[in-house]
Amino acid sequence: EVQLVESGGGLVQPGRSLKLSCAASGFTFSNYYMAWVRQAPKKGLEWVATISTSGSRTYYPDSVKGRFTISRDNAKSSLYLQMNSLKSEDTATYYCARRHGGYRTFDYWGQGVMVTVSS
């Protein structure tokens, strides 16, 4: 059974940093692109980052480019999101998601982890 379990969320002050982790199991992690998607409270979904199987290619929207870094450790079946220079608008539930094979959709999602940016 595919499982994605996020951790590392919490309350952080504006301008500070936070690192999220996602532990994957139930599939061959190194064979799949992975991603982070977030959802602000009572809002819609926003794609945050995608990383290739080897980690050599990463993709971000302008809203987080230069502040967030996605990475992975295939030996540990783990995905990470380093978030720097956090802003109040980064407050959201962050989901780890697996890319759906050859399609750039997301077929499995974690339960999500809450990040609150506030002074």
Partner 1 sequence: DIRMTQSPASLSASLGETVNIECLASEDIYSDLAWYQQKPGKSPQLLIYNANSLQNGVPSRFSGSGSGTQYSLKINSLQSEDVATYFCQQYNNYPFTFGSGTKLEIK
- Binding residues vs partner 1 (CB under 8 A): 37, 44-47, 50, 59-62, 95, 100, 103-107, 109-112
CB 34 within 8 A of CB 95: no
Which CB, 50 or 117, lies closer to partner 1?
50
Which CB, 17 or 111, lies closer to partner 1?
111
Which CB, 42 or 119, lies closer to partner 1?
42
Which CB, 56 or 103, lies closer to partner 1?
103
Residue ranges with strand state E in 1-119:
3-7, 10-12, 18-25, 34-39, 45-51, 58-59, 68-73, 78-83, 92-99, 106-109, 113-117
> Closest approach of Cβ 110 to partner 1, in Å?
7
> Closest approach of Cβ 7 to partner 1, in Å?
15
User: What is the rounded distance in angstroms from the CA atom of residue 18 to the CA atom of residue 72?
Assistant: 16
> Closest approach of Cβ 86 to partner 1, in Å?
20
User: What is the rounded distance in angstroms from the CA atom of residue 85 to the CA atom of residue 67?
Assistant: 6
